[in-house]
Amino acid sequence: MKRGKVVVVTGASGGVGRATARAFAERGARVALLARGREGLAAAADEVQQAGGEALVVSVDMADSKAVDDAAQKVVDAFGHIDVWVNNAFSGVFARFTEITPDEFRRVTEVTYLGYVFGTRAALHHMLPRDRGTVVQVGSALAYRGIPLQSAYCGAKHAIQGFNESLRCELLHTRSGVRTTMVQLPGVNTPQFDWVLNRMPGRARPVAPVYQPEVAARAIVHAAFHARRREYWVGGSTVATLIANAVAPGALDRYLARTNVEAQQEEGEHGGPGNLWVPADGPHGRDFGAHGRFDEEAVSSSPQDWLSRNRGRMLVAAAAGGLGAAVTAGLRRRG
């Protein structure tokens, strides 16, 4: 990546957004950090600068379309333009559907789905006149496959998937130089499981296997600069889930019903009231960083992700290997 690319990361105060901001900074980017909180944003800005990038902090609620437009304008005023916009901010409620209030469901949808819509609109407003730029939608295996206890979040991720596909077709139709792509993530070791509003008896946790946020960040950075692909799948569990859902969705329904309520809980005290309405790192909060409490079990690499990012090279190597084998066999026959 050329030094000085201008990158906007939403949800940058913690988790995947925090790791992604740092990963772009390591490549010399100028990174605009968007989130609601204060402590996490300040710490993220320090990390960006320490990694060799330039940071701009913009406090914004992604559910407020006018505020998002203003945030984008602040980035352009400071850095001149926007090269990459990464939509990542979200909120969630960890509960059975019947125990989620209409206001809570609406709030999750506004932040997690409409926040992506508003972020994308703001990005395109500045990218389309230049006829270049990339929007990366950070998705999830749950964009294809709903699981119990996360109906609001799954619904929002499904909506993002459909929205992004429609937008991508429109950009292709007009032969625009602006790209959009989506990165589907597995369970990640982030602080979100202590942030979500939780009405279950156990403490929220991701379904194993759990990946470190740096795995997600590497995929997002790669996608930003290889955006001709419509989407990237990160982690073997994501691939297995999406293939199983395509082949036998009914059987997967029954499997998830039997296993995933327990698989998303563990013993322990709840982390607090959640960050649905107030950021966990607000004036009376603290910085949570990129990692959650699952460092002991989280893995720092994904062979599947490496293969996905390097599939072009692998295909060339496979083709070359096949050609070499054919030539060798032919020579043997002639000999």
The Cα-based distances of 240 to 186, 234, 246, 257, 282 in angstroms read: 10, 11, 10, 17, 38
Of the candidates 143, 139, 150, 147, which has an alpha carbon nearest to the alpha carbon of residue 116?
Answer: 139
Of the candidates 138, 171, 8, which has an alpha carbon nearest to the alpha carbon of residue 84?
Answer: 8
The Cα-based distances of 302 to 20, 23, 212 in angstroms read: 16, 17, 10
Whole-angstrom distance, CA of residue 265 vs CA of residue 133: 40
Tell me the one-letter amino acid at 232.
Answer: Y
Strands (E) located in 125-262:
133-140, 178-185, 197-198, 203-204, 231-233
Q: Is residue 153 among the annotated active site residues?
A: yes
**From 113, 116, 144, 153, the catalytic residue:** 153
Task: Say if residue 201 is preceded by a cis peptide, omega within 30 of 0.
Answer: no
* Residue 137, Cβ density class (10 Å: 0-12 exposed, 13-18 middle, ≥19 buried): buried
Give yes or no for a contact between 112 and 157, defined as CB atoms under 8 angstroms apart: yes
- Active-site annotation, residues: 153
